[in-house]
Amino acid sequence: MRTQSSGHFQSKHHTPFFAWDTRGLKQAMKWTRREFVGAAGLLALAGCARVKQSRIGKLAPDLDFRKEGPLRFAALNDLHLLDSRSVGIVGRAVNAINNDEDIAFTVVLGDLTSHGTLREMNLVRHALGRLEKPYFCIPGPHDLAVGTEDPYTFYRRVFKKSQWKMNMEGWAFLGVDTCGGREESLPMSESNLEWFDIQLAHLDPKRPLVVL
């Protein structure tokens, strides 16, 4: 289990710039979950680089951030909740987040449970339900139920959506379901990548983007 970290985006000094050629989606459909997450991380690092120190910044349009100062959020991942003891461990992270007034929301980035059972999903809901600010979840391979017609059946029963788009104080956030199945080595599903493509096509080009 990994503890919390916080995301910190300083709009006054950083200009996120992302270049995405949607024609590359056909190749991206061969990506595994780890490969997609790695690529998204590289985009985020490139986007948060100081423009004055980046050649690509000279090509970027002027972006309207709509707010001066930082937007801060917390990130949790690989909770692997299994029992009441693990709920208590997550509870300590929840307390730390609640005690930080500057955190606007929390994202939970996959593998919320150990086996994707309904019981474990309800444990996660109970643990995260103590958060005082909004939270948004993305499933991981361990959140897919085994032996069911729809592997997302328990996840969606509790958390509704496996992918989402959110606008927060001038920033756009995309929560992307990178699962292709229970195994890490399986490529992302075509339907998930098509959803990602559609979201990118409708983004405001002047709004900075964070892909999770």
Q: Is the pLDDT assigned to residue 196 strictly greater than 80?
A: yes
Q: From CA 61, how far away is CA 67, in angstroms rounded?
A: 17
Q: Is the pLDDT assigned to residue 4 strictly greater than 50?
A: no
Name the pLDDT band for 175 (thresholds 50, 70, 90): very high
pLDDT of residue 58: 36
Instruction: Indicate the residue type of 166.
Output: M
Mean pLDDT for the stretch of residues 183-198: 79
Per the model's pLDDT, the better-predicted residue between 18 and 182 turns out to be: 182
pLDDT of residue 193: 87
The tokens describing 191, both together, are 């339907």
Task: Give DSSP secondary structure letters for 107-170.
Answer: EEES--BSS--HHHHHHHHHHHTT-SS-EEEE--GGGSPTTSSSTTHHHHHHH--SSEEEEETT
In contact, 172 and 210? CB cutoff 8 Å:
yes
Mean pLDDT for the stretch of residues 90-119: 94
Q: Is the pLDDT assigned to residue 156 strictly greater than 70?
A: yes
Per the model's pLDDT, the better-predicted residue between 18 and 167 turns out to be: 167
In contact, 133 and 103? CB cutoff 8 Å:
yes
List pLDDT tens digits, range 61-101. 344 444 556 889 999 999 999 998 999 999 999 999 999 99
In contact, 152 and 139? CB cutoff 8 Å:
yes
pLDDT of residue 190: 85
* Closest C-alpha to 21, from 200, 210, 211, 164: 200
Name the pLDDT band for 22 (thresholds 50, 70, 90): very low
List pLDDT tens digits, range 44-62. 444 444 333 333 333 333 4
Residues 6+ positions from 85 with CB-CB distance below 8 Å: none
Residues 6+ positions from 68 with CB-CB distance below 8 Å: 11, 12
Q: From CA 174, how far away is CA 200, in angstroms rounded?
A: 9
Q: How many CB atoms lie within 10 A of CB 12?
A: 10
| 22 secondary structure, DSSP code | G
In contact, 97 and 74? CB cutoff 8 Å:
yes
Per the model's pLDDT, the better-predicted residue between 132 and 7 turns out to be: 132
pLDDT of residue 164: 94
pTM assigned to the model: 0.69
Q: From CA 204, how far away is CA 22, in angstroms rounded?
A: 16
Q: Is the pLDDT assigned to residue 102 strictly greater than 50?
A: yes
Name the pLDDT band for 121 (thresholds 50, 70, 90): very high
